[in-house]
Amino acid sequence: MKALEKGAYIQHFQYGLGVITQADSEYTDIDFDTHGLKKFRTAIVVLERAEGTPPPRKRRARKKPIAAAGAAVAAVAVAAVKPAGKK
């Protein structure tokens, strides 16, 4: 099967409707509406072009770096352990 172009709206018999996010002669990545991102071998995947336009995709939230999250947790833990000041 010839690789479909990036951004094409397709239908798969098992996963339903999705958008091709990357395609070459070896692999095709598809972001399905209800099943998320899946990777297929281009030579054996069976796809049909879907009618209509794909629904708008939500941008996934970026994860905070682990070091910054760890420092925030450590600061809270130190503040909780520190005894209250005496007068």
What average pLDDT does this structure show over 4-33?
A: 92
Q: Residues of 3-29 as b/e, b for ≥16 C-beta within 10 angstroms? A: bbeeebbbebeebebbbbeebeeeebb
Answer yes or no: CATH 2.60.40 is held by domain 1-53.
no
pLDDT tens-digit readout, 46-70: 999 999 888 787 766 667 666 655 5
Domain edges within the chain: 1-53
With bands split at pLDDT 50, 70 and 90, how would you rate the model's confidence at 1? very low
pLDDT above 90: percentage of residues in the chain: 41
